[in-house]
Amino acid sequence: MQFQQRCQRCGTCCKNGGPILHQGDLPLLRQGIFSLQNLVTIRKGEPSFNPFTEMVEPASYEMIKIAGKGASWECIFYDAGRSACIIHADRPLECRLLQCWDTGEIEAIHGRECLCRFDLVADQDPIRDHIQRHEQQCTYALALPFLDQLSSPAPDKASMEELQGIMQQDLLLRDQAVCAFGLSLQQELFYFGRPLFQSLQHPRLRVAMSGSSLRLELVRSA
């Protein structure tokens, strides 16, 4: 039996999502290989897919990833027509280390020296204050306990109201930053990550939107 020892260019790794960025990738940003516009933040505590456990679980640390295409996580730098990376010569650390037939090297850097937003946003940038305020008021640590209570036979109405309030505040702070700095949607996803109402899913939870107002509704069990 012959074992795989080189990349077959099947594109599976690129289709499953862009890489997490590490300190060693800072030169790529400084050289303009990609910009903040090409990045998305997975905040600490956000439910996300862990490729090593193959489970969706709360992120144990903040991660900056290369963005996906639209609603897909397929890396924006992947050219599906040619089954190739368009920045291959300047690809991030994880892409250089990844060998699907031997994951030892990429596993060794998992969770180590990962970039976070404040590594990439200048100290004097006024948006830092908005990010810090958002992190104080809209963390997953605040929201997840209320979401967990939805699994109880009779969810507490007060918990639903608290969760709704956190999700509404998340949208409010985002809107303020978008208006203040003229952010695009992709820039918003870097500075603030995904909105809580999108990332916090539960089979008994339905989100009703009216403009920028949000209302949570409990789906009754059949």
H or E element that contains 44: none
Q: Residue 164's pLDDT band (boundaries 50, 70, 90)? A: very high
Q: What is the mean pLDDT of residues 86-97?
A: 92
Q: What was the pLDDT predicted at 17?
A: 83
> Which residue matches tokens 């209570």?
149
The mean predicted confidence, pLDDT, of the chain is 89
Contact predicate 166/146, CB 8 Å:
yes
Q: Give this prediction's pTM.
A: 0.89
Q: What is the mean pLDDT of residues 95-102?
A: 84
Q: Residue 221's pLDDT band (boundaries 50, 70, 90)? A: low
User: What letter does residue 194 receive in the DSSP assignment?
Assistant: S
The Cα–Cα gap between 194 and 222 comes to: 30
Query: 87, 71, 66, 74: which is closest to 14 by C-alpha?
Result: 74
The Cα–Cα gap between 18 and 12 comes to: 11
Q: What was the pLDDT predicted at 2?
A: 47
Could you read off the pLDDT of 32-73 as tens digits, one per residue?
999 999 999 999 999 988 777 878 889 999 999 999 987 788
User: How many other CB atoms are there within 10 angstroms of residue 79's CB atom?
Assistant: 13
> b or e along 24-35 (b: 16 or more beta carbons within 10 Å of the residue's beta carbon)?
ebeebbeeebbe
Going by C-beta distance under 8 Å and a sequence separation of 6 or more, which residues neighbour residue 13? 95, 98, 100
Q: What is the number of alpha carbons within 13 Å of residue 147 lying toward its C-beta?
A: 23
Could you read off the pLDDT of 104-153 as tens digits, one per residue?
888 888 889 999 999 999 999 999 999 999 999 999 999 999 988 888 87
In the chain, domain spans: 12-118, 123-218
> Which residue matches tokens 């998305």?
40
Helices (H), 182-222: 185-192, 196-199
Task: Please tell me whether residue 201 adopts helix, strand or coil conformation.
Answer: coil
Q: Residue 192's pLDDT band (boundaries 50, 70, 90)? A: very high
